[in-house]
Structures are given as C-alpha cells and as structure tokens.
Amino acid sequence: MVQKYNVIVVGAGHAGSEAAAAAANMGSETLLITMDLMSIAKMSCNPAIGGIAKGQIVREIDALGGYTGIVTDSTSIQFRMLNLSKGPAMWSPRAQSDRVKFSVKWREMLEQTQNLSFWQDTVTSLIFEQNKIVGVKTLLGAIFYADAVILTNGTFLNGLMHVGQTKIPGGRDADAPSLNLSDELKNKGIPVLRMKTGTPARIDGRTIDFSKVKEQEGDDKIAKFSFLPNIKSPLKQRSCYIVYTNIQTHNTLKTGFQFSPLFSGVIEGIGPRYCPSIEDKLVTFSERDSHMLFLEPEGENTVEFYINGFSSSLPLDVQYNALREIPGLENVKIFRPGYAIEYDYFDPTYLQLNLESKIINNLFFAGQINGTTGYEEAAAQGLMAGINAHLKINDKEPFVLKRYEAYIGVLIDDLINKGVDEPYRMFTSRAEYRILLRQDNADFRLTEKSYNIGLASESRYNMVKTKKQHVNNVIDFIKTNSIKPSEADNLLLSLNTPEMKQTEKMYKVLLRPQITIKHLLQCSNAFSKFIDNSEIENLEEVLESAEIQLKYESYIERESLSAEKLKRLDYVKIPGNFDFDRLQSLSTEAKQKLKKIKPKSIGQASGIPGVSPADISALLIYFGR
C-alpha cells in the first residue's frame, strides 16, 4: 500500500495531536500515524493540564487555534488559578482532567477535523532523497510519501522502563518501544542522546483513610483555558488531597536503594531536576524529615488516584511498603507501581526556529524528543511544527514567535539557542517579559497572528477584536470619568483605605491596592450604567483585562520599551551562509556557538549563551548598524 500526503505526523501524543490538527486545519492533507488509536493524547503521567507557566502556554495554544485548552475545559474535574496572591504576571491556570475522557475528547475533535486521516501502525524507517525527507515505512509494510514529516515520538524511541532490577522495553505503560529511527537519524548526522523520566504508583481510593488526609478543593469559580465562549466541563468536580511522608517512609525507601537502577548506574539518562523521583528527593534533601504529596483523582467516577510527588523506580515491594507508612495510606492497595523510563532524544540545537531540522529538509521535530518534559511544552511545539510544516511546503515564511511575544517563543528559543542537558520545563522565571506574557491577554497577543497565517478562524478573530474594543472602552471610561466622595467613601472605609478628600478620576481610585474594578461598579452608578449599555458578552474577562492594564500600566510600558529594543535587533538579518570566522573581533567561544546555531538575526544571536554584548556590538558594526 502506497499513498501520498502533504504532511505526515508520527506519534499521537500531545505534540503529535496538536501538529496534525494545525497542519490539517491550515489546509494540508495530513496523515497521523500512531501505534494505538485508543491512546491519542494519553495522559501518561499526572491527569492535569497547566500550572506555573504551563497554564500560560495552554492559553497561548488556544489563542492560536490549538485544541488542548478546549479538550481540558471539556473534561476537567477541578480548576484552580495558582499564584493569585502574587501579581497577574504570575497567575497560572491549572485543571485536573478525567484521564480517559480527555483522550476520548481529543480523538473526537481530531476525527471532526477536515483533511486529517489516521493510520494505526509503527513507523520503522524514514525515506530520504539526499538531504530531504520524502516519506515513511511502517511495520505492516505500508509506505506513505509526504512533502513534510513531523516526528513526535515522545518517550518511545528505544524506550526502556525500570522497576527495581526489572527492565521492560517500552515507551509508556508497557506499550512497545519504537526502534530503528534513532539509528537512521544518527547516521544522518543528528546527535542522539538519552534522557530519563518517571511516574508514580496509582492507588485504590477505596483503601485511603480520608479522615487522615487534608482536602484540597478547586476554586469556587470554575474558570477555563479556552477563550471561546460556551465551553465548560459537564463533569462532577472533585477534590485533591494532601499527605506527607515521614521518617518511617524514608527508612523503608532507603532499604531499596541498593536495588535502585537510578543509583546503580543502570539508568544512564538524565532525569528532570524539577520533578525528581522520591529517591532523588531523599538524597538531595537529606535534611528533610517529610515531603508533601498530592493525591489526584484520575477521573470523574473512578477510584484510581495518582500520587503526585512519589515518582519512583524502586522495587515493587519497597514502593508498596513505603506507601503504607504514610498516614492515611496504611491499608493502601496499588493498581500499578511507579517506574522510570529511559528514551532517546535529539539535540534541539540542530533545529531551526521553525522546528525544522538544519540537516534534513522538511523534517520537523516536536515534543519530548527535543528534550522537554510536560504535556504543555510538547503540545506547544507540536502546534508550531504543524503550522510551519504547512507553511514550508507552501513556500511561505516560517511562523516564529519571539521571546517578547509568547511563552511558546521563550520555550523554542531556549531549546534552539541554549540546548538542553536535562529535561526542559517551563517556568515564569525563564521569561524576561512576563508582565507582557500574561495568561489573560494571550488572545490579544496571538490570535491575529494566527488568523493572518490561516489557522485561527475569522469568527475567533472577530471575537477578539470585539473584546479588545470593549476593554479599550472600559479603560477610556475609567480614565476620563470621575467619582465623588459621597459615592465611594462608605466602600473605601469598609475596605480600610482612606476616604476621598475631593472628586477624583476613577483611575486614581482604582490604583489603590484594596480597590478592584468591581468595587467601582458597586459605587458608581455612571460606570454601572455604562457597562449595562455596552452589552459585553464575556464581561468577566473584559473587566479583568482592563483592570490589569490600568493597575500595571507603568510596568507594562517599561517592559514594552525593553521588548522594542530586542525587536529592532530581530530586524537585522544574518545571511544563512555567513562566515563568522571572518570577524576577528568575535571571541572564539562566540564563533563556535554562532557557527553551530546559525542564527537568522542578531536578535537570535543575542540569546545564545557565550555570545557577549561585545560580540553583538561587533556584529552590529559589521552589518552597518
């Protein structure tokens, strides 16, 4: 069987699913190949989406026209907005999802996507014509040709799972590994490296003593990821629970250290610094007598729970006995133990900013095979790879987001310019412009860009334009209208903030830390009447956006000016074949890094570690700036 497509996506995890949807929605005839059509976008680790910085990424995916936010909102069983005690740049949405229904919803949405076909099989080799990818071959003997191929193999490339001294070839949850592809790409000159990740045991909720654990409920107001209206979860909301390890737990865990593949050298891959196994924690934080763990429900009705914070590759009996030392889990039963998994990944510095290989034309990489960890980072890369594969085969300019435009831009820029030596995880601290890259304004930042390249729909674009106009109208009203002491003083006193001495602009009153825009609505009849007459459909989002822009105006302006300086550097292009050795004023380290990364602009060059401000000045002088 031989068939031809515009784009082939290999792997249907979070990266592959977003890649296939993006390419197909932009008009490419797309084929999604996966080993198991029943495991599309499977939540291999914890049943949750979002979190610190990750939530911002999901909102950006949605603003661009991706599916992750919609699927999460449709299957969530708990929602929390994290970091509300901090400034809005740090607010991060997070949701627990029903693991099974999440995957089912993803498949449903993909099946409803035009131009998208499916094939259940394993890709065993790639087809090249010199330095260009032209297709794939599968285990069943099928041959598929394509103008572009996107690899999103996750943890399946030469995957090897560890439980104590037991080793099982597999890419996830006893699924078969993907073999051969790593060797093919290594022979083409792409470095193949090794990483490790892990997952904790799943336990039977019927055996948890809930009288001994601390309940963690979701927010009373259930917010969402998607900017689209009328998308919400029909599912019953559930609580998570907090438990703590203790000295007895730790002592039991330590009895298995001699059998741990992590400490014996059996596992060679580098593990995630920011999501360590429980045995890692005991060694790294040896002074601590206790560690917090979260019991997260796996679905709306199931009794299965995920133990967040207890990832382990220790022997089965050690995991089981240690869990039973935790208050509340004395009689716990395990559905399946935790395990570690090693897998191949490819050096992301061998990619261009559009996620296309620098060595093999029209071959794109996305997800954990680029050295990242997490559903959200994978989905973002998949979306960008799907967009850029379509653009490349249609002879259009790449779609690249800058560091000052999106967390997705920070993620990809970090991967390509800095590389990874451990599984990469996004944090708000990685973004220099996080007051600009808030979760509330992702649609203002990105939807128009997506509409201009043919992904975001016209109806979504018009919705954003209308919302932006409403926000600007609210801001103008508050800046130009005043409020009298007689209207506001009672409220101000109740909020322990001084009375007004005279009539003031509403804007000045709003700048008080205790005052919110909803307080102005309570005490100003003129403002309340204005809002009623405006007939704003998504009022909560409009008021929140207006309030943030007003309260943080000076900070936003300061970061915008800083971003403008970097933007000017992006306009100074560097030819693809430029010989950096000809500039003697460049440092030796800068020459080495610039020749490896091959930046397309001086803005990109300025983000490469080892390229100093003096090196950037030398480049600017050479290019006449």
**C-alpha dihedral sign at 424, 428, 431, 432:** negative
Single pTM value for the model = 0.95
Question: Please, what's the b/e burial string for 335-371 (b: 16 or more CB within 10 A of its CB; e: otherwise)?
Answer: eebbbbbbbbbbbbbbbbbbbbbbebbbbbbbbbbbb
The tens digit of pLDDT for each residue in 339-367 reads: 999 999 999 999 999 999 999 999 999 99
What ranges in 274-428 are assigned the alpha helix state H? 278-284, 316-323, 375-393, 407-418
What ranges in 127-256 are assigned the alpha helix state H? 181-187, 247-254
What is the distance between the alpha carbons of residues 488 and 517, in angstroms, rounded to a whole number?
13
Contact 338, 198 (CB under 8 A): yes
What ranges in 419-457 are assigned the alpha helix state H? 442-453
Q: Give me the residues paired with residue 76 across strands.
A: 97
Phi, psi of 580 (to 5 degrees): -70, -20
- The reported pLDDT for the residue numbered 137 is 97
SS3 assignment, position 332: coil
- The reported pLDDT for the residue numbered 363 is 98
Q: How far apart are the two ends of the chain, measured CA to CA in Å?
A: 56
The encoded tokens of residue 585 equal: 């004023």
Contacts of 595 (CB under 8 A, 6+ apart): 580, 581
Residues of the chain below pLDDT 70: 174, 625
- The reported pLDDT for the residue numbered 263 is 79
What is the distance between the alpha carbons of residues 320 and 181, in angstroms, rounded to a whole number?
37
User: What crossing angle do the helices spanning 375-393 and 407-418 adopt, rounded to 10°?
Assistant: 80
Residue of 44, 13, 97 whose CA lies nearest to 338: 44
Place of tokens 């959200």: 376
The strand ranges marked E within 130-255 are 132-138, 143-151, 160-163, 166-169, 192-199, 202-204, 214-216, 240-244
The tens digit of pLDDT for each residue in 19-44 reads: 999 999 999 999 999 999 999 999 99
The encoded tokens of residue 518 equal: 């909803």
- The reported pLDDT for the residue numbered 625 is 60
Contacts of 502 (CB under 8 A, 6+ apart): 485
Contacts of 167 (CB under 8 A, 6+ apart): 160, 161, 261, 266
Contact 415, 371 (CB under 8 A): yes
The encoded tokens of residue 481 equal: 């209208």
The tens digit of pLDDT for each residue in 571-606 reads: 899 998 899 999 999 999 999 999 999 999 999 999
User: What crossing angle do the helices spanning 407-418 and 54-64 adopt, rounded to 10°?
Assistant: 110
The tens digit of pLDDT for each residue in 527-580 reads: 999 999 999 988 999 999 999 999 999 999 999 999 998 889 998 999 988 999
Neighbours of 539 (CB within 10 A): 13
Element (H, E) at 360: none
Neighbours of 252 (CB within 10 A): 20
